[in-house]
Structure 1
Amino acid sequence: MIYPDLFKQLEAVRWNMDRDIPWDQFDASRLSEEQAQTIKMNAITEWAALPATEMFLRDNRNDSDFSAFISVWFFEEQKHSLVLMEYLRRFRPDLVPTEAELHEVRFEFDPAPPLETLMLHFCGEIRLNHWYRRAAEWHAEPVIKAIYETLARDEARHGGAYLRYMKRALQTSGDEARAAFAKVGVLMASARRTAQALHPTNLHVNSSLFPRDTVQSRLPDPEWLEQWLDSQIAFDTTWENKVVDRILHNLGLLFGRSFASVQELNRYRKEITGRLTAAATSAPPEGLPATA
Protein backbone atom coordinates (compact mmCIF):
# COMPACT_ATOMS: atom_id res chain seq x y z
CA MET A 1 0.00 0.00 0.00
CA ILE A 2 1.06 3.57 -0.72
CA TYR A 3 -1.21 5.40 1.72
CA PRO A 4 0.65 4.65 4.99
CA ASP A 5 3.92 6.05 3.64
CA LEU A 6 2.21 9.07 2.09
CA PHE A 7 0.44 9.78 5.36
CA LYS A 8 3.77 9.89 7.21
CA GLN A 9 5.38 12.11 4.58
CA LEU A 10 2.54 14.62 4.49
CA GLU A 11 2.11 14.59 8.26
CA ALA A 12 5.79 15.44 8.73
CA VAL A 13 5.52 18.69 6.76
CA ARG A 14 1.99 19.73 7.69
CA TRP A 15 1.71 23.39 8.63
CA ASN A 16 -0.25 24.82 11.53
CA MET A 17 -2.70 27.61 10.78
CA ASP A 18 -2.06 29.42 14.07
CA ARG A 19 1.72 29.01 14.34
CA ASP A 20 2.95 28.97 10.75
CA ILE A 21 1.02 31.84 9.17
CA PRO A 22 2.52 35.26 10.09
CA TRP A 23 -0.81 36.89 11.01
CA ASP A 24 0.88 39.65 13.00
CA GLN A 25 2.61 40.97 9.86
CA PHE A 26 -0.61 42.12 8.19
CA ASP A 27 -0.33 45.46 6.39
CA ALA A 28 -3.73 46.80 5.31
CA SER A 29 -2.13 49.45 3.09
CA ARG A 30 -0.75 46.71 0.83
CA LEU A 31 -4.03 44.92 0.12
CA SER A 32 -6.22 46.35 -2.65
CA GLU A 33 -9.94 45.81 -3.07
CA GLU A 34 -9.48 43.76 -6.24
CA GLN A 35 -6.93 41.54 -4.50
CA ALA A 36 -9.27 40.94 -1.58
CA GLN A 37 -12.06 39.94 -3.97
CA THR A 38 -9.81 37.32 -5.62
CA ILE A 39 -9.02 35.80 -2.24
CA LYS A 40 -12.74 35.23 -1.71
CA MET A 41 -13.05 33.53 -5.11
CA ASN A 42 -10.11 31.25 -4.39
CA ALA A 43 -11.53 30.36 -0.97
CA ILE A 44 -14.76 29.19 -2.63
CA THR A 45 -12.91 27.38 -5.40
CA GLU A 46 -10.85 25.41 -2.86
CA TRP A 47 -14.11 24.37 -1.16
CA ALA A 48 -14.82 22.33 -4.30
CA ALA A 49 -12.48 19.66 -2.94
CA LEU A 50 -15.67 18.44 -1.25
CA PRO A 51 -17.52 17.29 -4.40
CA ALA A 52 -14.21 16.13 -5.90
CA THR A 53 -13.70 13.88 -2.89
CA GLU A 54 -17.19 12.47 -3.25
CA MET A 55 -16.37 11.73 -6.89
CA PHE A 56 -13.05 10.06 -6.03
CA LEU A 57 -14.63 7.81 -3.39
CA ARG A 58 -17.53 6.84 -5.69
CA ASP A 59 -15.39 6.07 -8.73
CA ASN A 60 -12.58 4.31 -6.79
CA ARG A 61 -14.74 2.13 -4.58
CA ASN A 62 -12.59 -0.88 -5.52
CA ASP A 63 -9.36 0.88 -4.47
CA SER A 64 -9.17 1.28 -0.70
CA ASP A 65 -5.52 2.38 -0.76
CA PHE A 66 -6.18 5.39 -3.00
CA SER A 67 -9.46 6.16 -1.22
CA ALA A 68 -7.62 6.29 2.09
CA PHE A 69 -5.11 8.76 0.64
CA ILE A 70 -8.00 10.95 -0.48
CA SER A 71 -8.86 11.45 3.20
CA VAL A 72 -5.55 13.29 3.61
CA TRP A 73 -5.92 15.19 0.32
CA PHE A 74 -9.43 16.28 1.29
CA PHE A 75 -8.30 17.48 4.72
CA GLU A 76 -5.46 19.56 3.29
CA GLU A 77 -7.52 21.03 0.43
CA GLN A 78 -10.36 22.04 2.77
CA LYS A 79 -7.71 23.60 4.99
CA HIS A 80 -6.69 25.75 2.02
CA SER A 81 -10.22 27.10 1.81
CA LEU A 82 -10.29 27.59 5.57
CA VAL A 83 -7.04 29.58 5.80
CA LEU A 84 -8.18 31.91 3.00
CA MET A 85 -11.47 32.42 4.80
CA GLU A 86 -9.62 33.00 8.08
CA TYR A 87 -7.58 35.70 6.35
CA LEU A 88 -10.80 37.39 5.24
CA ARG A 89 -12.41 36.92 8.65
CA ARG A 90 -9.52 38.73 10.30
CA PHE A 91 -8.90 41.47 7.79
CA ARG A 92 -11.91 41.72 5.42
CA PRO A 93 -14.88 40.19 7.25
CA ASP A 94 -17.28 41.71 4.71
CA LEU A 95 -15.88 39.32 2.09
CA VAL A 96 -16.06 36.03 4.01
CA PRO A 97 -17.99 33.57 1.80
CA THR A 98 -21.44 32.66 3.02
CA GLU A 99 -22.38 29.05 3.63
CA ALA A 100 -24.74 29.32 0.65
CA GLU A 101 -21.89 30.49 -1.60
CA LEU A 102 -19.75 27.58 -0.48
CA HIS A 103 -22.55 25.05 -0.87
CA GLU A 104 -23.19 26.27 -4.41
CA VAL A 105 -20.00 24.55 -5.60
CA ARG A 106 -21.00 21.23 -4.06
CA PHE A 107 -22.72 19.34 -6.86
CA GLU A 108 -22.42 15.85 -8.25
CA PHE A 109 -19.81 15.14 -10.90
CA ASP A 110 -20.63 12.66 -13.67
CA PRO A 111 -18.80 9.32 -13.41
CA ALA A 112 -15.54 9.31 -15.35
CA PRO A 113 -12.74 6.79 -16.02
CA PRO A 114 -10.64 6.70 -12.82
CA LEU A 115 -7.29 6.64 -14.63
CA GLU A 116 -8.15 9.74 -16.65
CA THR A 117 -9.43 11.50 -13.54
CA LEU A 118 -6.21 10.64 -11.70
CA MET A 119 -4.12 12.20 -14.47
CA LEU A 120 -6.43 15.20 -14.68
CA HIS A 121 -5.92 15.98 -11.02
CA PHE A 122 -2.18 15.36 -11.22
CA CYS A 123 -2.01 18.04 -13.93
CA GLY A 124 -4.35 20.24 -11.90
CA GLU A 125 -1.99 20.16 -8.93
CA ILE A 126 0.94 21.17 -11.14
CA ARG A 127 -1.05 24.03 -12.61
CA LEU A 128 -2.34 25.24 -9.24
CA ASN A 129 1.16 25.14 -7.78
CA HIS A 130 2.25 27.57 -10.49
CA TRP A 131 -0.87 29.73 -10.19
CA TYR A 132 -0.32 30.15 -6.46
CA ARG A 133 3.38 30.88 -6.86
CA ARG A 134 2.47 33.62 -9.31
CA ALA A 135 -0.28 34.88 -7.00
CA ALA A 136 2.26 35.17 -4.18
CA GLU A 137 4.37 37.38 -6.44
CA TRP A 138 1.40 39.55 -7.39
CA HIS A 139 0.34 40.24 -3.81
CA ALA A 140 2.31 42.79 -1.80
CA GLU A 141 0.58 42.16 1.55
CA PRO A 142 2.92 39.91 3.61
CA VAL A 143 0.35 37.54 5.16
CA ILE A 144 -1.46 36.60 1.96
CA LYS A 145 1.90 36.22 0.20
CA ALA A 146 2.92 33.69 2.86
CA ILE A 147 -0.41 31.88 2.57
CA TYR A 148 -0.15 31.46 -1.19
CA GLU A 149 3.44 30.26 -0.89
CA THR A 150 2.29 27.71 1.69
CA LEU A 151 -0.58 26.49 -0.48
CA ALA A 152 1.72 26.21 -3.51
CA ARG A 153 4.00 23.84 -1.62
CA ASP A 154 1.02 21.71 -0.61
CA GLU A 155 -0.16 21.46 -4.21
CA ALA A 156 3.30 20.33 -5.32
CA ARG A 157 3.27 17.59 -2.68
CA HIS A 158 -0.19 16.50 -3.75
CA GLY A 159 1.02 16.21 -7.32
CA GLY A 160 3.84 13.97 -6.12
CA ALA A 161 1.35 11.77 -4.28
CA TYR A 162 -0.85 11.38 -7.37
CA LEU A 163 2.28 10.50 -9.35
CA ARG A 164 2.94 7.56 -7.05
CA TYR A 165 -0.51 6.17 -7.77
CA MET A 166 0.09 6.71 -11.48
CA LYS A 167 3.29 4.65 -11.25
CA ARG A 168 1.32 1.90 -9.53
CA ALA A 169 -1.30 2.03 -12.30
CA LEU A 170 1.39 1.39 -14.93
CA GLN A 171 2.30 -1.80 -13.07
CA THR A 172 -1.28 -2.99 -12.78
CA SER A 173 -2.91 -1.66 -15.96
CA GLY A 174 -0.02 -1.26 -18.41
CA ASP A 175 -0.95 0.26 -21.74
CA GLU A 176 -4.45 1.10 -20.56
CA ALA A 177 -2.92 3.46 -18.00
CA ARG A 178 -0.38 4.81 -20.50
CA ALA A 179 -3.16 5.61 -22.96
CA ALA A 180 -5.28 7.35 -20.32
CA PHE A 181 -2.38 9.40 -18.94
CA ALA A 182 -1.14 10.39 -22.40
CA LYS A 183 -4.65 11.37 -23.56
CA VAL A 184 -5.26 13.70 -20.63
CA GLY A 185 -1.67 14.92 -20.72
CA VAL A 186 -2.13 16.12 -24.30
CA LEU A 187 -5.29 17.97 -23.28
CA MET A 188 -3.86 19.58 -20.14
CA ALA A 189 -0.60 20.60 -21.79
CA SER A 190 -2.44 22.32 -24.66
CA ALA A 191 -3.79 25.32 -22.73
CA ARG A 192 -2.15 27.73 -25.16
CA ARG A 193 -4.56 26.48 -27.83
CA THR A 194 -7.70 26.92 -25.76
CA ALA A 195 -9.73 29.93 -24.66
CA GLN A 196 -10.29 28.60 -21.15
CA ALA A 197 -7.97 27.83 -18.27
CA LEU A 198 -7.40 24.09 -18.18
CA HIS A 199 -7.93 23.08 -14.58
CA PRO A 200 -10.39 20.55 -13.07
CA THR A 201 -12.46 23.38 -11.54
CA ASN A 202 -12.95 24.90 -14.99
CA LEU A 203 -14.07 21.77 -16.86
CA HIS A 204 -17.64 20.61 -17.49
CA VAL A 205 -18.43 17.72 -15.14
CA ASN A 206 -22.22 17.29 -15.07
CA SER A 207 -24.04 17.29 -18.40
CA SER A 208 -27.47 17.66 -16.77
CA LEU A 209 -26.43 21.01 -15.25
CA PHE A 210 -24.82 22.50 -18.36
CA PRO A 211 -23.79 25.29 -18.67
CA ARG A 212 -23.53 25.67 -14.88
CA ASP A 213 -21.61 22.42 -14.48
CA THR A 214 -18.14 23.76 -13.75
CA VAL A 215 -16.99 24.90 -10.35
CA GLN A 216 -16.03 28.29 -11.75
CA SER A 217 -19.48 28.81 -13.31
CA ARG A 218 -21.07 28.50 -9.87
CA LEU A 219 -18.98 31.19 -8.15
CA PRO A 220 -20.43 34.62 -7.27
CA ASP A 221 -18.34 35.97 -10.16
CA PRO A 222 -18.10 33.24 -12.83
CA GLU A 223 -15.74 35.36 -14.95
CA TRP A 224 -13.16 36.04 -12.26
CA LEU A 225 -10.68 33.25 -13.12
CA GLU A 226 -9.77 34.51 -16.58
CA GLN A 227 -9.33 38.04 -15.27
CA TRP A 228 -7.23 36.79 -12.34
CA LEU A 229 -4.95 34.86 -14.67
CA ASP A 230 -4.71 37.34 -17.55
CA SER A 231 -4.96 40.78 -15.97
CA GLN A 232 -4.04 40.36 -12.32
CA ILE A 233 -1.45 37.67 -11.60
CA ALA A 234 -0.38 37.87 -15.29
CA PHE A 235 -0.05 34.13 -15.85
CA ASP A 236 1.60 34.62 -19.22
CA THR A 237 3.23 32.35 -21.80
CA THR A 238 6.39 32.03 -19.74
CA TRP A 239 4.45 30.68 -16.78
CA GLU A 240 2.25 28.48 -18.94
CA ASN A 241 5.37 26.97 -20.50
CA LYS A 242 6.56 26.06 -17.01
CA VAL A 243 3.36 24.09 -16.45
CA VAL A 244 3.67 22.32 -19.80
CA ASP A 245 7.32 21.50 -19.15
CA ARG A 246 6.48 19.93 -15.78
CA ILE A 247 3.71 17.81 -17.27
CA LEU A 248 5.92 16.62 -20.12
CA HIS A 249 8.90 16.03 -17.82
CA ASN A 250 6.92 13.92 -15.37
CA LEU A 251 5.25 11.89 -18.10
CA GLY A 252 8.67 11.32 -19.62
CA LEU A 253 9.92 9.91 -16.34
CA LEU A 254 6.74 7.85 -15.98
CA PHE A 255 6.91 6.36 -19.48
CA GLY A 256 10.69 6.08 -19.71
CA ARG A 257 11.09 8.40 -22.69
CA SER A 258 11.42 12.14 -23.18
CA PHE A 259 8.84 14.47 -24.72
CA ALA A 260 10.08 17.81 -26.03
CA SER A 261 6.60 18.96 -27.06
CA VAL A 262 2.90 18.20 -26.79
CA GLN A 263 3.09 16.93 -30.37
CA GLU A 264 5.60 14.27 -29.35
CA LEU A 265 3.36 13.22 -26.48
CA ASN A 266 0.42 13.01 -28.87
CA ARG A 267 2.40 10.76 -31.21
CA TYR A 268 3.16 8.53 -28.24
CA ARG A 269 -0.56 8.50 -27.35
CA LYS A 270 -1.40 7.32 -30.87
CA GLU A 271 1.29 4.65 -30.63
CA ILE A 272 -0.16 3.26 -27.40
CA THR A 273 -3.73 3.49 -28.70
CA GLY A 274 -2.70 1.58 -31.79
CA ARG A 275 -1.07 -1.08 -29.65
CA LEU A 276 -4.23 -1.46 -27.60
CA THR A 277 -6.36 -1.71 -30.74
CA ALA A 278 -4.07 -4.35 -32.23
CA ALA A 279 -4.16 -6.36 -29.02
CA ALA A 280 -7.95 -6.20 -28.91
CA THR A 281 -8.41 -7.31 -32.53
CA SER A 282 -5.96 -10.20 -32.14
CA ALA A 283 -7.63 -11.52 -29.01
CA PRO A 284 -9.85 -14.60 -29.47
CA PRO A 285 -13.63 -14.10 -29.23
CA GLU A 286 -14.96 -14.30 -25.70
CA GLY A 287 -15.55 -17.86 -24.63
CA LEU A 288 -13.14 -19.39 -27.13
CA PRO A 289 -9.65 -20.66 -26.18
CA ALA A 290 -6.59 -18.95 -27.61
CA THR A 291 -4.72 -20.96 -30.21
CA ALA A 292 -1.41 -22.45 -29.22
Structure 2
Amino acid sequence: MLYPELFKTMEAVRWNMAHDIPWGDFDRSKLSDEQAHTIKMNAITEWAALPATEMFLRDNRGDSDFCAFMSVWFFEEQKHSLVLIEYLRRFCPDLVPTEEELHNVRFEFDAAPELETLMLHFCGEVRLNHWYRRAAEWHTEPVIKAIYKTVAQDEARHAGAYLQYMRRALHDRGQDTSAQARLAFSKIGVLMASAGRTHQALHPTNLHVNKDLFPNDTVQSRLPEPGWLEHWLDTQIRFDGVWEQKVATRILHILSKLMDRSFETVKDLNRYRKEMTALIVPKEKEIILGGA
Protein backbone atom coordinates (compact mmCIF):
# COMPACT_ATOMS: atom_id res chain seq x y z
CA MET A 1 0.00 0.00 0.00
CA LEU A 2 1.13 3.52 -0.78
CA TYR A 3 -1.15 5.35 1.63
CA PRO A 4 0.75 4.73 4.92
CA GLU A 5 4.03 6.13 3.59
CA LEU A 6 2.31 9.00 1.78
CA PHE A 7 0.55 9.90 5.01
CA LYS A 8 3.81 10.00 6.96
CA THR A 9 5.58 12.02 4.28
CA MET A 10 2.86 14.64 4.03
CA GLU A 11 2.35 14.76 7.79
CA ALA A 12 6.02 15.63 8.22
CA VAL A 13 5.82 18.75 6.03
CA ARG A 14 2.27 19.88 6.71
CA TRP A 15 1.97 23.56 7.53
CA ASN A 16 -0.10 25.02 10.32
CA MET A 17 -2.49 27.82 9.40
CA ALA A 18 -2.17 29.55 12.76
CA HIS A 19 1.62 29.47 13.05
CA ASP A 20 3.12 29.12 9.55
CA ILE A 21 1.26 31.92 7.76
CA PRO A 22 2.81 35.35 8.53
CA TRP A 23 -0.50 37.06 9.34
CA GLY A 24 1.29 39.86 11.20
CA ASP A 25 3.06 40.99 8.03
CA PHE A 26 -0.15 42.19 6.38
CA ASP A 27 0.24 45.49 4.55
CA ARG A 28 -3.06 47.04 3.49
CA SER A 29 -1.33 49.50 1.16
CA LYS A 30 -0.06 46.62 -0.98
CA LEU A 31 -3.42 44.93 -1.61
CA SER A 32 -5.63 46.27 -4.40
CA ASP A 33 -9.36 45.64 -4.73
CA GLU A 34 -8.62 43.78 -7.96
CA GLN A 35 -6.21 41.42 -6.23
CA ALA A 36 -8.56 40.82 -3.30
CA HIS A 37 -11.37 39.83 -5.67
CA THR A 38 -9.21 37.12 -7.26
CA ILE A 39 -8.58 35.62 -3.82
CA LYS A 40 -12.32 35.11 -3.39
CA MET A 41 -12.61 33.36 -6.74
CA ASN A 42 -9.72 31.04 -5.93
CA ALA A 43 -11.19 30.28 -2.51
CA ILE A 44 -14.41 29.10 -4.17
CA THR A 45 -12.52 27.15 -6.84
CA GLU A 46 -10.51 25.30 -4.19
CA TRP A 47 -13.76 24.32 -2.46
CA ALA A 48 -14.40 22.07 -5.49
CA ALA A 49 -12.09 19.51 -3.90
CA LEU A 50 -15.31 18.34 -2.21
CA PRO A 51 -17.12 17.07 -5.34
CA ALA A 52 -13.80 15.84 -6.77
CA THR A 53 -13.29 13.69 -3.66
CA GLU A 54 -16.81 12.33 -3.94
CA MET A 55 -16.03 11.41 -7.55
CA PHE A 56 -12.77 9.68 -6.63
CA LEU A 57 -14.37 7.65 -3.83
CA ARG A 58 -17.26 6.59 -6.10
CA ASP A 59 -15.11 5.62 -9.09
CA ASN A 60 -12.36 3.88 -7.10
CA ARG A 61 -14.46 1.73 -4.79
CA GLY A 62 -12.25 -1.25 -5.61
CA ASP A 63 -9.07 0.54 -4.56
CA SER A 64 -9.03 1.10 -0.79
CA ASP A 65 -5.40 2.25 -0.87
CA PHE A 66 -6.15 5.16 -3.20
CA CYS A 67 -9.40 6.01 -1.42
CA ALA A 68 -7.55 6.18 1.89
CA PHE A 69 -5.07 8.61 0.33
CA MET A 70 -8.04 10.79 -0.55
CA SER A 71 -8.37 11.55 3.18
CA VAL A 72 -5.02 13.36 2.99
CA TRP A 73 -5.61 15.02 -0.36
CA PHE A 74 -9.10 16.21 0.59
CA PHE A 75 -7.93 17.63 3.92
CA GLU A 76 -5.08 19.58 2.37
CA GLU A 77 -7.10 20.85 -0.59
CA GLN A 78 -9.95 22.06 1.62
CA LYS A 79 -7.36 23.80 3.79
CA HIS A 80 -6.33 25.78 0.71
CA SER A 81 -9.86 27.12 0.43
CA LEU A 82 -9.96 27.72 4.16
CA VAL A 83 -6.72 29.71 4.33
CA LEU A 84 -7.88 31.97 1.48
CA ILE A 85 -11.22 32.46 3.22
CA GLU A 86 -9.39 33.21 6.48
CA TYR A 87 -7.31 35.85 4.68
CA LEU A 88 -10.49 37.50 3.45
CA ARG A 89 -12.16 37.19 6.86
CA ARG A 90 -9.26 39.03 8.48
CA PHE A 91 -8.57 41.68 5.88
CA CYS A 92 -11.50 41.90 3.41
CA PRO A 93 -14.57 40.59 5.26
CA ASP A 94 -16.97 41.90 2.62
CA LEU A 95 -15.44 39.44 0.12
CA VAL A 96 -15.80 36.25 2.19
CA PRO A 97 -17.69 33.71 0.03
CA THR A 98 -21.17 32.85 1.19
CA GLU A 99 -22.09 29.28 1.99
CA GLU A 100 -24.35 29.33 -1.05
CA GLU A 101 -21.46 30.38 -3.32
CA LEU A 102 -19.33 27.55 -1.96
CA HIS A 103 -22.10 24.98 -2.17
CA ASN A 104 -22.81 25.94 -5.78
CA VAL A 105 -19.57 24.28 -6.94
CA ARG A 106 -20.59 20.99 -5.35
CA PHE A 107 -22.31 18.93 -8.02
CA GLU A 108 -22.03 15.37 -9.30
CA PHE A 109 -19.39 14.50 -11.87
CA ASP A 110 -20.13 11.86 -14.48
CA ALA A 111 -18.23 8.60 -14.12
CA ALA A 112 -15.03 8.44 -16.16
CA PRO A 113 -12.21 5.91 -16.72
CA GLU A 114 -10.17 5.74 -13.50
CA LEU A 115 -6.74 5.90 -15.11
CA GLU A 116 -7.64 8.85 -17.31
CA THR A 117 -9.02 10.71 -14.28
CA LEU A 118 -5.85 9.96 -12.32
CA MET A 119 -3.68 11.38 -15.11
CA LEU A 120 -5.98 14.37 -15.53
CA HIS A 121 -5.63 15.31 -11.87
CA PHE A 122 -1.89 14.71 -11.88
CA CYS A 123 -1.61 17.24 -14.72
CA GLY A 124 -4.02 19.52 -12.91
CA GLU A 125 -1.74 19.60 -9.85
CA VAL A 126 1.27 20.36 -12.03
CA ARG A 127 -0.58 23.19 -13.73
CA LEU A 128 -1.97 24.59 -10.48
CA ASN A 129 1.51 24.60 -8.95
CA HIS A 130 2.62 26.85 -11.81
CA TRP A 131 -0.50 29.03 -11.62
CA TYR A 132 0.01 29.68 -7.91
CA ARG A 133 3.72 30.36 -8.32
CA ARG A 134 2.81 32.99 -10.90
CA ALA A 135 0.07 34.36 -8.63
CA ALA A 136 2.62 34.74 -5.83
CA GLU A 137 4.75 36.83 -8.18
CA TRP A 138 1.80 38.98 -9.30
CA HIS A 139 0.53 39.80 -5.82
CA THR A 140 2.22 42.61 -3.91
CA GLU A 141 0.84 42.06 -0.40
CA PRO A 142 3.27 39.94 1.69
CA VAL A 143 0.79 37.60 3.43
CA ILE A 144 -1.06 36.51 0.30
CA LYS A 145 2.26 36.09 -1.51
CA ALA A 146 3.31 33.68 1.26
CA ILE A 147 -0.02 31.84 1.10
CA TYR A 148 0.22 31.25 -2.63
CA LYS A 149 3.81 30.03 -2.31
CA THR A 150 2.68 27.63 0.42
CA VAL A 151 -0.25 26.14 -1.46
CA ALA A 152 1.85 25.88 -4.64
CA GLN A 153 4.24 23.61 -2.74
CA ASP A 154 1.28 21.49 -1.62
CA GLU A 155 0.11 21.09 -5.21
CA ALA A 156 3.57 19.90 -6.24
CA ARG A 157 3.51 17.29 -3.47
CA HIS A 158 0.05 16.16 -4.53
CA ALA A 159 1.29 15.70 -8.08
CA GLY A 160 4.08 13.54 -6.67
CA ALA A 161 1.58 11.40 -4.79
CA TYR A 162 -0.60 10.90 -7.86
CA LEU A 163 2.56 9.97 -9.74
CA GLN A 164 3.16 7.12 -7.31
CA TYR A 165 -0.28 5.71 -8.09
CA MET A 166 0.42 6.11 -11.80
CA ARG A 167 3.68 4.20 -11.37
CA ARG A 168 1.82 1.48 -9.47
CA ALA A 169 -0.63 1.10 -12.38
CA LEU A 170 2.27 0.64 -14.79
CA HIS A 171 4.34 -1.80 -12.77
CA ASP A 172 2.29 -3.52 -10.06
CA ARG A 173 -1.10 -4.29 -11.58
CA GLY A 174 -0.28 -6.71 -14.39
CA GLN A 175 0.36 -6.36 -18.12
CA ASP A 176 -3.22 -5.59 -19.11
CA THR A 177 -3.51 -2.72 -16.62
CA SER A 178 -0.06 -1.48 -17.59
CA ALA A 179 -1.03 -1.27 -21.26
CA GLN A 180 -4.29 0.48 -20.45
CA ALA A 181 -2.42 2.89 -18.19
CA ARG A 182 0.09 3.74 -20.90
CA LEU A 183 -2.73 4.54 -23.30
CA ALA A 184 -4.68 6.56 -20.71
CA PHE A 185 -1.64 8.54 -19.55
CA SER A 186 -0.48 9.34 -23.07
CA LYS A 187 -4.00 10.27 -24.20
CA ILE A 188 -4.57 12.73 -21.35
CA GLY A 189 -0.97 13.89 -21.52
CA VAL A 190 -1.42 14.98 -25.13
CA LEU A 191 -4.46 17.00 -24.13
CA MET A 192 -3.00 18.62 -21.01
CA ALA A 193 0.37 19.46 -22.56
CA SER A 194 -1.33 21.17 -25.52
CA ALA A 195 -2.90 24.07 -23.64
CA GLY A 196 -0.88 26.56 -25.66
CA ARG A 197 -2.88 25.54 -28.74
CA THR A 198 -6.29 26.18 -27.21
CA HIS A 199 -8.19 29.12 -25.77
CA GLN A 200 -9.37 27.03 -22.82
CA ALA A 201 -7.59 26.81 -19.48
CA LEU A 202 -6.91 23.08 -19.26
CA HIS A 203 -7.49 22.27 -15.60
CA PRO A 204 -10.03 19.81 -14.11
CA THR A 205 -12.06 22.71 -12.69
CA ASN A 206 -12.51 24.11 -16.20
CA LEU A 207 -13.54 20.92 -18.00
CA HIS A 208 -17.10 19.69 -18.61
CA VAL A 209 -17.96 16.84 -16.26
CA ASN A 210 -21.75 16.33 -16.32
CA LYS A 211 -23.48 16.07 -19.68
CA ASP A 212 -26.94 16.55 -18.14
CA LEU A 213 -25.92 19.96 -16.75
CA PHE A 214 -24.09 21.17 -19.85
CA PRO A 215 -22.98 23.90 -20.31
CA ASN A 216 -23.21 24.72 -16.62
CA ASP A 217 -21.14 21.68 -15.70
CA THR A 218 -17.68 23.04 -15.00
CA VAL A 219 -16.58 24.34 -11.62
CA GLN A 220 -15.64 27.66 -13.22
CA SER A 221 -19.07 28.02 -14.83
CA ARG A 222 -20.64 27.87 -11.37
CA LEU A 223 -18.57 30.66 -9.86
CA PRO A 224 -20.16 34.10 -9.27
CA GLU A 225 -18.21 35.24 -12.34
CA PRO A 226 -17.89 32.32 -14.80
CA GLY A 227 -15.38 34.11 -17.02
CA TRP A 228 -13.07 34.99 -14.16
CA LEU A 229 -10.44 32.29 -14.73
CA GLU A 230 -9.43 33.33 -18.23
CA HIS A 231 -9.18 36.97 -17.13
CA TRP A 232 -7.04 36.00 -14.12
CA LEU A 233 -4.69 33.96 -16.30
CA ASP A 234 -4.46 36.21 -19.34
CA THR A 235 -4.67 39.72 -17.90
CA GLN A 236 -3.77 39.56 -14.23
CA ILE A 237 -1.15 36.92 -13.44
CA ARG A 238 -0.22 36.83 -17.15
CA PHE A 239 0.19 33.09 -17.49
CA ASP A 240 1.64 33.39 -20.98
CA GLY A 241 3.23 31.05 -23.49
CA VAL A 242 6.47 30.89 -21.53
CA TRP A 243 4.65 29.59 -18.46
CA GLU A 244 2.50 27.23 -20.51
CA GLN A 245 5.65 25.77 -21.98
CA LYS A 246 6.97 25.17 -18.47
CA VAL A 247 3.86 23.12 -17.70
CA ALA A 248 4.09 21.14 -20.95
CA THR A 249 7.81 20.50 -20.48
CA ARG A 250 7.21 19.24 -16.95
CA ILE A 251 4.45 16.87 -18.05
CA LEU A 252 6.53 15.50 -20.95
CA HIS A 253 9.61 15.09 -18.73
CA ILE A 254 7.73 13.12 -16.08
CA LEU A 255 5.98 10.91 -18.64
CA SER A 256 9.33 10.23 -20.30
CA LYS A 257 10.74 8.94 -17.03
CA LEU A 258 7.56 7.12 -16.11
CA MET A 259 7.26 5.20 -19.39
CA ASP A 260 10.96 4.94 -20.20
CA ARG A 261 10.51 6.71 -23.51
CA SER A 262 11.73 10.12 -24.60
CA PHE A 263 8.96 12.66 -25.29
CA GLU A 264 10.55 15.92 -26.37
CA THR A 265 7.33 17.30 -27.86
CA VAL A 266 3.60 16.70 -27.72
CA LYS A 267 3.91 15.15 -31.19
CA ASP A 268 6.27 12.53 -29.74
CA LEU A 269 3.73 11.70 -27.05
CA ASN A 270 0.90 11.57 -29.58
CA ARG A 271 2.84 9.10 -31.72
CA TYR A 272 3.25 6.92 -28.64
CA ARG A 273 -0.48 7.20 -27.93
CA LYS A 274 -1.21 5.95 -31.45
CA GLU A 275 1.19 3.04 -30.96
CA MET A 276 -0.57 2.03 -27.76
CA THR A 277 -3.98 2.37 -29.40
CA ALA A 278 -2.86 0.07 -32.22
CA LEU A 279 -1.72 -2.52 -29.67
CA ILE A 280 -4.73 -2.40 -27.35
CA VAL A 281 -7.76 -1.89 -29.60
CA PRO A 282 -7.22 -5.07 -31.68
CA LYS A 283 -6.93 -7.10 -28.45
CA GLU A 284 -10.16 -5.64 -27.15
CA LYS A 285 -11.91 -6.52 -30.42
CA GLU A 286 -10.58 -10.08 -30.14
CA ILE A 287 -12.01 -10.37 -26.63
CA ILE A 288 -15.42 -9.10 -27.76
CA LEU A 289 -15.53 -11.39 -30.77
CA GLY A 290 -14.33 -14.33 -28.74
CA GLY A 291 -17.17 -13.90 -26.27
CA ALA A 292 -19.82 -13.50 -28.96
Which segment drifts farther, 145-154 or 276-285?
A: 276-285
2:269 paired with 1:265: yes
Q: Percent identity?
A: 73
In 2, the alpha carbon distance for the partners of 1:132 and 1:284 equals 46
SS in structure 2 opposite 1:234?
coil
Cα pair distance change 1:199/1:284, threshold 3 Å:
closer
Q: 1:252 aligns with which of 231, 256, 270?
A: 256
| Corresponding position of 1:54 | 54
Deviation at 1:286, TM superposition (A): 3.6
TM-score (ref. length: structure 2) = 0.97
| Corresponding position of 1:279 | 283
Which segment drifts farther, 140-149 or 169-178?
A: 169-178
In 2, the alpha carbon distance for the partners of 1:192 and 1:241 equals 8
2:195 paired with 1:191: yes
SS in structure 1 opposite 2:130?
helix
What pairs up with 1:177-216 in 2 under 5 angstroms?
A: 177-216=181-220
In 2, the alpha carbon distance for the partners of 1:7 and 1:67 equals 12
Deviation at 1:280, TM superposition (A): 3.4
In 2, the alpha carbon distance for the partners of 1:220 and 1:124 equals 22
Deviation at 1:210, TM superposition (A): 0.8
What pairs up with 1:29-48 in 2 under 5 angstroms?
A: 29-48=29-48
| Corresponding position of 1:163 | 163
Letter paired with 2:60:
N
| Corresponding position of 1:20 | 20
Letter paired with 2:273:
R
2:243 paired with 1:231: no
Cα pair distance change 1:280/1:80, threshold 3 Å:
same
2:129 paired with 1:129: yes
Letter paired with 1:59:
D
SS in structure 1 opposite 2:97?
coil
Deviation at 1:279, TM superposition (A): 2.9
Which segment drifts farther, 172-181 or 78-87?
A: 172-181
Q: How many residues are aligned here?
A: 288
Letter paired with 2:117:
T
Deviation at 1:257, TM superposition (A): 1.0
In 2, the alpha carbon distance for the partners of 1:134 and 1:287 equals 53
In 2, the alpha carbon distance for the partners of 1:274 and 1:219 equals 41
Aligned alpha-carbon RMSD (Å):
1.2
Letter paired with 2:256:
G
Letter paired with 1:237:
G
Letter paired with 2:140:
A
In 2, the alpha carbon distance for the partners of 1:207 and 1:223 equals 20
Which segment drifts farther, 271-280 or 149-158?
A: 271-280
SS in structure 2 opposite 1:174?
helix
Letter paired with 1:232:
Q
Cα pair distance change 1:26/1:110, threshold 3 Å:
same
SS in structure 1 opposite 2:261?
coil
Deviations 1:21-79 (A, max 9, x none): 00000000000001000000000000000000000000000000000001100000000
Letter paired with 1:159:
A
In 1, the alpha carbon distance for the partners of 2:247 and 2:34 equals 26
In 2, the alpha carbon distance for the partners of 1:230 and 1:286 equals 52
Deviation at 1:195, TM superposition (A): 1.1
Deviation at 1:243, TM superposition (A): 0.2
Deviations 1:55-107 (A, max 9, x none): 00000000000000011000000000000000000000000000000000000
Which segment drifts farther, 92-101 or 272-281?
A: 272-281
Deviation at 1:287, TM superposition (A): 5.6
In 1, the alpha carbon distance for the partners of 2:242 and 2:185 equals 24
